[in-house]
Chain A
Amino acid sequence: MFLKVRLPILLTFFAGLIPIVAFFFKDGTPYVKTLSSSLEQDMVIVSGFALLLGVVNVVQGNVRKIERREKGWFYAIVLLAGMAFMGLFGAAGAMRLFGLPGIGMMADGRPTPFQWGSLYLFTPLQATMFALLAFYIASAAFRAFRIRNVEATILLVAAVFVMLGRIPIGEPLFGPITEWMMQVPNGAAQRGIIIGAALGAASLSLRVILGIERSYLGLDKSE
């Protein structure tokens, strides 16, 4: 019980307390500040391992799909092949294996396999995927911007002004009012959202540190 439940909660408490306590000390203060900065460097490393944990999950799910010949299993093979190509060449480049100088360009100016994949697979696919949203955003706009009440009208006017104010033909006429809208009322709304979200995040952090919130460990309040 202690090792499975109490210890993780205590570890969260102490790990959370270290950066908070360190905040009240000057840079270079022995023990407190050095411990906090060491932990900061360590957590960057752990975050790397955590990201690769997601990769293991994806591999597991897709291998299962292929084994069971579930619907769309062929696309699971494509996904794994794409991941293997970029992941293996990326890892080999990062570790400087097989004569690869890194994940960027070779000494003679040719791209490494990882860089080639990044230039001709990842970048165009990503850009096109987001560009496709330009079409779907139009239908979303139609639904969102139908003038039904004051709120929808404000949404419509703000969006139209921003769009017109940012193109060459509309900039002379709508530019100043767009600028004012972005700086003043939009700035106020963003500021309100930032303050509200930050207060919410801070209170959630406190709940986690104090062990009130435990769902991230897969525990409920009774445990």
Chain B
Amino acid sequence: MTGMELFGTWIAALLTLCLMSFLYKDNPLFRFAEALFAGVSLGYYIGITMDQTLRPNLFEPLRDSGLTLETGHLLFAGLVGLNLYTRYVPKIAWFARSSLAIYVGYYVGINMVQKLQGEVLPQAAATMVDLTGGGSPTDALNALVVFIGVLTVLIYFFFSVEHKGVFGKASRVGIWFLMLGFGAAFGYTVMGRISLLIGRINFLVIQWIGGTLQALGIGG
């Protein structure tokens, strides 16, 4: 471990401890680390956006090819993007609406196609399978459970009809399926968070304490 790496490890370890101090109670060290996290995260996304979105899609094509027929639309994109910032000039703040309109319009259009073609139709097709299609009885039973689950969950989400009578009972079964799904998601989340916690404790013990001892020539 180089000196710079050790320095970085110490910074990371101290910030980790600052955040963990919240387990005792809210305190200035936690709030310092929390504010730093918010700032660093924003800065991180600035760097990533500049490097992975604006540079390869806008700056480099314009720099390498200049303003041609092929790259002309990039200038349009840049102007639409810059126009978003007119919202900070009160007199012409409404200019930004046009950029926002194009941006939102395009994405809702593509979203509509993708949702219907990429999610609704394939999911519905996968639900309505042939129960006598040659699979084992267990497969057929599972397919039936899936079909009942999807149908009852959709019934639960259908609010145009009052949930009573047969509809209400089906809706109740839908809630059971949903609860099972939420329980499974909760279990997964707990496991994920515990795994992260183990990772942080490993970092403190192995990289921070172990690395420092190693740098001091103590231990293996």
Contact = CB atoms under 8 A, between A and B. Distances in A.
Interface of A: 3-4, 7-9, 11-20, 23, 38-56, 58, 72, 75-76, 78-91, 93-95, 102-103, 110, 114, 116-135, 137, 141, 144, 150-152, 154-163, 166-167, 180-196, 198-199, 201-202, 204-206, 208-209, 216-218
A45 B44 contact: no
Given A12-B102, A94-B47, A194 B53 contact: no
A14 B39 contact: no
B46 interface: yes
Interface in B119-159: 119-120, 123-124, 126-127, 142, 145-154, 156-157
B100 A130 contact: no
A118 B44 contact: yes
B194 A134 contact: yes
A15 B181 contact: no
A45 B77 contact: yes
A125 B123 contact: no
Interface stretch (B110-118, B160-168, B210-218): B110-118
Contact of A50 (B81, B88, B200): B81
B77 A41 contact: yes
B69 to A, nearest CB: 11
A90 B48 contact: yes
B55 interface: yes
Nearest to A144: B186
Nearest to A8: B101
A42 B43 contact: no
Contacts of B27: none
Nearest to A21: B109
A209 B101 contact: no
A45 to B, nearest CB: 4
Contacts of B54: 45, 48-49, 94
B173 to A, nearest CB: 11
Contact of A94 (B37, B50, B84): B50
Given A79-B35, A85-B43, A184-B142, A15 B105 contact: yes
The interface size bin for chain B is 35 or more
Interface string B177-220: 11111111011111101101101100100000000000000000
Interface centre among A12, A192, A195, by most chain B C-beta atoms within 10 angstroms, is A192
A24 B64 CA distance: 34
Contacts of B1: none
Nearest to B9: A120
A201 B115 contact: yes
A180 B184 CA distance: 12
Contacts of A123: 12
Interface in B42-72: 42-51, 53-55, 57-59
B146 A188 contact: yes
A180 B145 CA distance: 11
Contact of B85 (A53, A120, A155): A53
Given A131-B197, A155-B183, A46 B81 contact: yes
Nearest to B32: A78
A132 B35 contact: no
Contacts of A194: 119, 123
A206 B108 CA distance: 8
A198 to B, nearest CB: 4
Contact of A205 (B47, B112, B119): B112
A72 B117 CA distance: 49
A216 to B, nearest CB: 5
Contact of A12 (B82, B101, B153): B101
23 contacts: A11-B98, A15-B104, A18-B109, A43-B106, A48-B54, A49-B80, A87-B47, A89-B47, A90-B47, A93-B47, A94-B47, A117-B44, A125-B37, A128-B15, A132-B20, A155-B179, A185-B177, A193-B153, A193-B181, A195-B119, A195-B120, A205-B109, A217-B101
